[in-house]
Copies of this chain bind each other. A is one copy, B any other.
Amino acid sequence: MSVLLHDLAGADPARRFSPYCWRVRMALAHKGIPHEAVPWRFSERMAIADAGAEKVPVLRHDGRTVFESFRILEYIEDTWPGPPSLFGGEGGRAAARFIAGWADLVTVASAARLVVSDIPRHLRPEDADYFIRTREARYGTTLAALTADRDRQVEAFRKELHPLRAVLRERPWLSGQTAGAADYIAFGGFQWARCVSAFPLLVPDDPVYFWRGRLLDAFDGLARNVPHEDRT
């Protein structure tokens, strides 16, 4: 198969939980590009070292390697420019980059403070040790302490989603009338959280909840039908 994605996996190889890898998987499905998403773990640095990458996603296509999720989305759009478009033109591409920057702060970084303590139990022991050590150094506290007050903290997180709601109250997708890169980028964080944690980030009366559900259903349930913890 000519397209291969190194995709972050847990101890169960079917548990894929990188928000950035999910952006790419949804984009590949959007374009209908046959590919293989192979499991990669934190301890498997050598498997991607040749690409110059230290983490996934890493895409391999016809002898080329691309890393960093937004670059991969651009590579996909430029290499398979036919419809359906991922970005809907240059304006949409620039805006998707903006939404990626926003998602890094909100649907990844802020969401991490609500679910990160649920991640280690899904990892192989050596990966769990690495994960806990590096994240606790980053946060300056234990993962358990970070999420201890999450029932209250989630309210602030939900307020941060205001820009998503502003769009979704008026349109079906962040990309407009059809789903596109902007949707997959913002969705990645929700899917990551759902795959590792039963903690409900969203409540069912939220337009963001409905939008997430439609993305879970997309592409024959690509994102829905994987090992996950959130049952909402």
Contact = CB atoms under 8 A, between A and B. Distances in A.
Nearest to A102: B163
A167 interface: yes
A91 B89 contact: yes
A176 B101 contact: no
**Identical subunits present:** 2
A164 B98 CA distance: 6
Nearest to A96: B95
Contacts of A96: 95
A81 to B, nearest CB: 15
B166 A91 contact: no
Contact of A176 (B85, B94, B170, B171): B94
A184 to B, nearest CB: 13
Contacts of A31: none
Given A105-B162, A162-B105, A167 B91 contact: no
Contacts of A101: 162-167
